[in-house]
């Protein structure tokens, strides 16, 4: 069964307020089976347009990634990100 991924592309507008999102989302997503593969760090745009920050979480399956994103506790915390940053979030099925 292919793994699932939550991929986020984010540009933070309010870094101080965004810290609360990072502090609160981490334990929730880890408890739901997520493993952070990419979380910020250096990146270099090679083609096209991009957000400033990139996050990739790996889950045991696509269904678990969807369930994590839709989890009510996570959705409550996601409101902080939505207020403090511009973002595009995808749930993607991995290749076998």
Check residue 96 and give its pLDDT. Answer: 83
Q: pLDDT band at 71, cuts 50/70/90?
A: very high
Strand order in the sheet with 35-39: 35-39, 53-59, 4-12, 85-93
Tell me the per-residue pLDDT of 32-59, one tens digit each, with 9 for 90 and over. Answer: 999 999 999 999 999 999 999 999 999 9
Q: pLDDT band at 88, cuts 50/70/90?
A: very high
* Domains: count for the chain: 1
Q: Which domain holds residue 33?
A: 4-93
Q: Tell me, what CATH number does 58's domain have?
A: 3.30.70.100
Taking residues 62-91, what's their average pLDDT?
Answer: 98
SS3 per residue for 2-68: CCEEEEEEEEECCHHHHHHHHHHHHHHHHHCCCEEEEECCCCCCCCCCCCCEEEEEEECCHHHHHHH
Chain mean pLDDT for the chain:
96
Q: Is the CA virtual torsion 28, 77, 41, 1 positive or negative?
A: positive
């Amino acid at each position: 069964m292919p793994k699932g991924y939550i991929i986020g592309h984010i540009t933070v507008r309010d870094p101080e307020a965004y810290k609360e999102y990072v502090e609160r989302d981490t334990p929730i997503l880890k408890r739901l089976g997520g493993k952070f593969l990419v979380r910020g760090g250096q990146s270099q745009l090679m083609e096209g347009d991009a957000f400033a920050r990139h996050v990739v979480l790996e889950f045991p399956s696509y269904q678990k990634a969807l369930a994590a994103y839709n989890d009510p506790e996570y959705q409550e915390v996601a409101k902080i990100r939505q207020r403090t940053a511009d973002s595009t979030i995808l749930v993607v099925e991995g290749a076998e």
